[in-house]
Amino acid sequence: MDVFAEGGKLPNAFFAPASSSFTDFLAAHRPDLLPGKRAQATEGLTIEAPHGTTIVAVTHQSGVVMAGDRRATMGNVIAQRDMEKVFQADEYSCVGIAGSAGIAIELVRLFQVELEHYEKIEGTTLSLDGKANRLSMLIRNNLAMAMQGLAVVPLFAGYDVDGDEPATAGRIFSYDVTGGRYEEHSFHSVGSGSVFARGALKKLYRDDFSEADAVTACIQALYDAADDDSATGGPDLTRRIYPVVTSVTVDGFRRLPDNEVEQSTQQVVDDRMTQPGGPIAPLR
C-alpha cells in the first residue's frame, strides 16, 4: 500500500479539514476497502456463506448486558461452534451481529475504527445516539449485498454517559437491513432464534434486575432459543463452549471471563434437569 502516490506528497485526502469520519476518508481515498463497495456478484445468484444466529441484550439497574450463542451455520451444516458474535465497539458500547458472518465481522471492524478515529481526531467521544447513527449508515451501505442474501443485522447497546442516572443509562438499539434504527426498551434479541429468546425475556424480565440477574436472563433466553431453533447453539458442556457474555456499566466495557459464564450456565443447565422448560412465570 503506497500512501505516496504523488511522490513525497501525501494525497489531499489525508489533510482534508473537518472530516472526522474514517468511513468518509476511505470513501474518498480507498473506496475499494469499504465493505459495501465490493464488486457485485451476478444478479439472481445467492451465495452460501456462514450465518451467525442469536444475540440478546438486557438492561439493568447499572447498565446493559449483551450475550450471543457461539454457532455459525451454512445451510444445514454447522460451520463453526465457537464463533464470537459480540464485540466491544468502544469503551462504553458493544455490538452483536446476526446474519452473514464474514461481512458482519468486517462491518464491526470498520465500526470500531470509525468510533476510535472520531475520538482521536476530535479529542472527544461521540454521543451514544451518534454512535448508533453511524452504525445505521454502515448497515445502509451494505444494502446491495443484503439483496443478494448477505444481510447483516446488528444489535447495538451501550452505557449513555450523558444520561441522567445509571438505572436508565443502559440503552439498546436494533436495526433493519436498510439501516433503520430503532431504540428498544428493557430487552431485545436479533437473529434466527430471536423469536424464542424474546418470548423468554418477556416472561423473565423485571425492572429491578441487577447485573447478575441480567446475565442469567440472557443465558436462559439463549437456552430457550437453542431449544427451538436449530441454527442457535446451546451451551456445549462437553467442549466447555459457553455463550459470549459482555457487560457495559459506568466502569466501561467488560467481557465476562469464561469461568464466571461457566458457573451461571451450569446453574441454568442444572435447573433445567428438573424443569426442562425453564423458570415458570406466575399465571396472573
Q: What single string gives the DSSP state of each residue in 122-178? A: HSSPPPHHHHHHHHHHHHHHTHHHHHTT--EEEEEEEE-TTSS-HHHHEEEEEE-TT
Nearer to another protein, 9 or 240 (CB): 9
Active site includes 53? Answer: yes
Identify the three-state secondary structure at position 92. coil
- CB 88 → another protein: shortest distance, Å? 10
- 259-275 burial: b if 16+ Cβ within 10 Å, else e: eebeebbeebeeebeee
- In the bound state with another protein, the residue whose beta carbon lies nearer, of 106 and 224, is 106
Q: Among residues 8 and 44, whose Cβ is nearest to another protein?
A: 8
- Smallest separation (angstroms) from another protein to the CB of 126: 15
Of the candidates 53, 59, 216, 232, the residue annotated as catalytic is: 53
At closest approach, how far in Å is the CB of 146 from another protein? 22
Which is closer to another protein, CB of 1 or CB of 77?
A: 1
Cα 127 to Cα 87: distance, rounded to the nearest angstrom: 19
**Closer of 12 and 168 to another protein (Cβ):** 12
Apex CA 244: angle with CA 238 and CA 246, to 5°? 150
Amino acid at 144: A
Give the footprint of another protein on this chain (CB under 8 A): 1, 3-4, 8-10, 13-15, 22, 25-26, 29-30, 33, 109-110, 113, 116-117, 120-121, 123
Q: How far is the CB of 36 from another protein (least distance, A)?
A: 15
Alpha carbons 280 and 256: distance in angstroms, whole number? 27
Report how far residue 59's alpha carbon sits from residue 210's, in angstroms, rounded to the nearest whole number. 9
Query: What are the angstrom distances between the C-alpha of 237 and each of 234, 266, 279?
Result: 9, 8, 21
Q: How many CB atoms lie within 10 A of CB 155?
A: 27
**CA–CA separation, 118 vs 126, rounded Å?**
7
Query: What's the min distance (Å) between Cβ of 26 and another protein?
Result: 8
Q: Which residues are catalytic?
A: 53
